[in-house]
Amino acid sequence: MTITVIGLGYVGLPLAIEFAKKGHKVYGFDISEKVITNIKEARDITFDIALSDLEAVLQNGDFIPSTDYSTLSESKAAIICVPTPLDSAKQPDLSYVEDASRKIAEHMHTGQLVVMESTTYPGTTDEVIKPILEKSGLSAGIDFHLAFSPERIDPGNTQFQVANTPKIVGGYTDDCTRIAAELYRTFLEHVHEVTSTRAAEMVKLLENTFRVVNIAMVDELAMLCDRMEIDIWEVIEAAKTKPYGYMPFYPGPGVGGHCIPIDPFYLSWKAKEYDFNTRFIEMAGEMSDNMPYWTVDKLMKIMNSNKLLMNGSRVTLLGLAYKKDIADYRESATFKIKDLLEGHGAKVTVCDPYIQMAQEHSAIITTTELTSQLLKESQAVVILTDHAAFDEEFILQNSSLIFDTRNHIKRRDIDYLYHL
């Protein structure tokens, strides 16, 4: 089958490679010339694929990355893997989805399958994508097939990747579901069919809302434990010993990534259409948004207890990526924490071995190499990402004050080491 994957980021690129490995002819589209150039030269833009797989499908011609949408006219299936961010008012921004849908509509043909993978609110596929596609003059469920299959990408996860993570598929009609499921079963063993696109869209939001609520809960407990002088990390490790009814979540300086800080707001926004207030979800979101502020407040208290003023101090932040051992900095708490620290007069340096420069909205961060001199010149060192590359002994030997927000350094016998 000839397939076009629209959007070649963390979701689209691994998906395109897996289809190509199974002998499908895959066109990969992205609006970024830089992204296409990097892929053509077999440079991994996500740090989450096997370069040998990418090189192989490029060389045998089964994967063709391009900025040319015209390949859609010969594609049996088109899969949308574009960003679905929130705007400044935390309202869903579906502009990328709408643009992709319009391009598909321009090249629609009878029998084509269109699948949306980008995370969104229940109803998007039927209420937003379907009307745009039907401007082609073709009807969903009759002339072409339409389905939603939520991406389940976990950057940096070496155990569960695209090829071995079960897939959810829900179509506009039963036949749409069947056709889409058959496509995914060409490289996946476990494909679970649900009764509608709306059910499939809700699955993804349930998964990520579950996470954000539990992360918010443990963040709040971390604040309480701090006030009660209890080590939250010790408590979590002890709770983990229970073999049932509990799974560990960990506190941190703020949640990041494209899913956890965003997806629950898609659901709460849609719920208002049904005169329903998702108070529990919104409270979790507020707690997550508050963590960078609390982190900076605690750092200031730590510095004050050591007779250090934030104003004029050199503060080095270790980690820009939102989680360990990846290059993904989307919605990273480091942006907010750096901004807050500079607002208090601190001179802030950011180090991350995976990232040289990052831009989020209007904020730009250029990282610096982590050296012993930098650590020694810093009045405070804050570990915001627990990259394995951050050597514990090196940090301990060269720093005079460390605030570890990730429990990266697990020792409790050092008087200048503080934990979240």
Give pLDDT tens digits for 172-182: 999 999 999 99
3-state helix, strand, coil in the chain (%, to 5): 40, 15, 40
DSSP count for the chain of H helices, then E strands: 14, 15
Residue tagged active-site, from 81, 176, 259, 351: 259
373-409 pLDDT, tens digit per residue, is: 999 999 999 999 999 999 999 999 999 999 999 999 9
225 in catalytic set? no
Q: What is the CATH number of domain 2-195?
A: 3.40.50.720
Mean pLDDT for all residues in the chain = 94
Which pairing describes strands 2-6 and 77-80: parallel, antiparallel, or unpaired? parallel
Q: Domain map of the chain by residue range?
A: 2-195, 211-419
Superfamily of domain 211-419: NAD(P)-binding Rossmann-like Domain (3.40.50.720)
pLDDT reading at 312 higher than 90: yes
Rounded distance between C-alpha atoms, residue 399 and residue 376, angstroms = 6
Instruction: Give the relative orientation of helices 232-239 and 197-228 as an angle to the nearest 10 degrees.
Output: 130
The rounded percent of the chain whose pLDDT value lies above 90 is: 80
243-252: average pLDDT: 95
134-151: average pLDDT: 97
Per the CB < 8 A criterion, the answer to whether 200 and 168 are in contact is: yes
pLDDT reading at 47 higher than 70: no
Q: Do domains 2-195 and 211-419 have the same CATH topology?
A: yes
51-73 pLDDT, tens digit per residue, is: 889 999 999 999 999 988 888 99
Angle at 128 between CA 198 and CA 68, to 5 degrees: 115
